[in-house]
A and B are shown apart, each in its own frame.
Chain A
Amino acid sequence: AQSVTQPDIHITVSEGASLELRCNYSYGATPYLFWYVQSPGQGLQLLLKYFSGDTLVQGIKGFEAEFKRSQSSFNLRKPSVHWSDAAEYFCAVAGGGNKLTFGTGTQLKVEL
């Protein structure tokens, strides 16, 4: 069965600092990987996805993620965080079809 681990429940960074959110997945074959962001009381917005090819993927809002098969990781990064990036971030894996298995999320707080 597929699973996703986001080891950091909360992360606090200063505005302008760099950010890395960790995600580890478990899946037997080549996974389809996603990062979503959720603001309070809202739905999920897709930041980026990895299906195949280049292991460094670019997304919206200046985010990028790197797929590392050897480490079963798909970490999300941003070089300079803005106060508006404060939200909850979810990593997800799909093994085929549209069933997404989500991690427990990382709550990002941005200090001004």
Chain B
Amino acid sequence: KAGVTQTPRYLIKTRGQQVTLSCSPISGHRSVSWYQQTPGQGLQFLFEYFSETQRNKGNFPGRFSGRQFSNSRSEMNVSTLELGDSALYLCASSFSTATTEAFFGQGTRLTVV
């Protein structure tokens, strides 16, 4: 059974640009959550999608957005990149929207220069 796949693994972007990250959950999982990990703030919840609907949102500015497709794949977008957006972005896949185990991908390392 394939795990959670995140693409790309590494990205370098310039301030002011926008970026899109992709996450393919485990087959049969319909919930996808996104987290930002930085040395200063640790692991912080961005949002959760289930059945193409955002179910929960963390405390991040509107520059951070996401969506989920009918096949459960999810994308997150960050517009007008700032240096502070440099982080490891992790995607987690869960079977349902009720609390279950979350399985994480290897992450996308975003560097903003």
Which A residues are within 8 Å of any B CB, using their own CB?
Answer: 32, 34, 36, 41-46, 49, 51, 90, 92, 94, 96-105
Contacting pair B43 A51 (CB below 8 A): no
Q: Is the interface of B mostly helix, strand, loop or mixed?
A: strand
Residue of B nearest to A32 (CB): B99
- Alpha-carbon distance between A41 and B87 when the two chains are bound, in angstroms: 11
Contacting pair A102 B102 (CB below 8 A): no
Q: Is the interface of A mostly helix, strand, loop or mixed?
A: strand
> What is the interface size of chain B, counting residues whose CB is below 8 A from a CB of the partner?
27
Residue of B nearest to A41 (CB): B109
Contacting pair A43 B107 (CB below 8 A): yes
Within the complex, the shortest CB–CB distance from A11 to chain B, in Å, comes to: 17
Contacting pair A45 B56 (CB below 8 A): no
Residues of A within 8 Å of B6, CB to CB, are: 43
Residues of B within 8 Å of A49, CB to CB, are: 101
Contacting pair B97 A97 (CB below 8 A): yes
